[in-house]
Amino acid sequence: MLRRASSRCPTGRLGRLTAAACLVMRASCCTLPPSRSTAFSRIGEQAVALNSRYAAGSGERKERLHTALTAIGFPGIEVLLDSAEFRGSSALRIYSSFVLPRNDGALAAAEQPQRAAVIANSIAFMVREHRNDRSEWLRNHDRSLEEVADAPSFPLTLVLDNLRSAANVGNIFRAAEAARIEAIVCCGITPTPPQPKLLRTAMGSAEYVCHSYAGSTLEAVLGSLPSAGIYRSICRSIRIYTYAHTYIHIVIYLYRSGL
């Protein structure tokens, strides 16, 4: 038979030691560590301070880089910064990392006198390489579309509204090629072929899908697409937006921030 443990504290020297240990434990429990919110606020303050320090000379670095690009005869700095063709490209990434470095090493390298000229030459080379790759891909794309020109296609157009993930867009191109969908319209920040990550995920199917780019979904739906039924896909369901008989358009967008 098991005995019930006594609820009374032991007496004598052992009792006094036990009572002292209990007091120490209570005192330690009352001394609480700093809250998570306080720790997170400190981390946030440190991050803001670091970002401010890295962005301090961004205007001067940008001016030095533009001067170096002009010196080597690089045309179209505005095209590099504003065109959808170079969105997510290596040339634009190296431009941004020079103007707005993200760590102390990159900041120290950007402050070196000859660094702007080195970055300018790298950007010019990457732009030429990007355009050559794009031209070759477009030639192959046109040939591939001619191969499947006589094959029947389903009168469905997918409108991709500001999808960030190139891998997801590549999967959509694979599905579109398998289903013989008529066209895909990439809108806003949606990656477009021949974006490297998109092509890796598409696995060769992007060459056989007719696609185009529009600055906004509204522009695509109201301007470039024929009058048709528009279905709005919001991740979980497809809702009928309007009705039509000949063509069907599906707008795919992010659940939280799309449209």
**pLDDT surpasses 90 at 162:** no
Task: Clarify whether residues 159 and 75 are in a common domain.
Answer: no
Task: Clarify whether residues 188 and 130 are in a common domain.
Answer: no
Task: Clarify whether residues 158 and 133 are in a common domain.
Answer: no
pTM for the model stands at 0.56
Task: Clarify whether residues 219 and 143 are in a common domain.
Answer: no
Please indicate whether residue 199 or residue 14 has the higher confidence score (pLDDT). 199
Residue 7 lies in a domain: no
Residue 207 lies in a domain: yes
**What tens digit of pLDDT does each residue of 163-178 get?**
888 899 999 999 999 8
Q: How many domains does the chain have?
A: 2
Task: Clarify whether residues 95 and 70 are in a common domain.
Answer: yes
Q: Look at residue 68 in the predicted model and tell me its pLDDT.
A: 93
Six-digit token pair at 45? 């303050």
**pLDDT surpasses 90 at 13:** no
Residue 214 belongs to domain spanning: 152-253
Task: Clarify whether residues 137 and 156 are in a common domain.
Answer: no
**What tens digit of pLDDT does each residue of 77-129 get?**
888 888 777 877 888 889 999 998 988 888 899 889 899 999 999 999 998 88
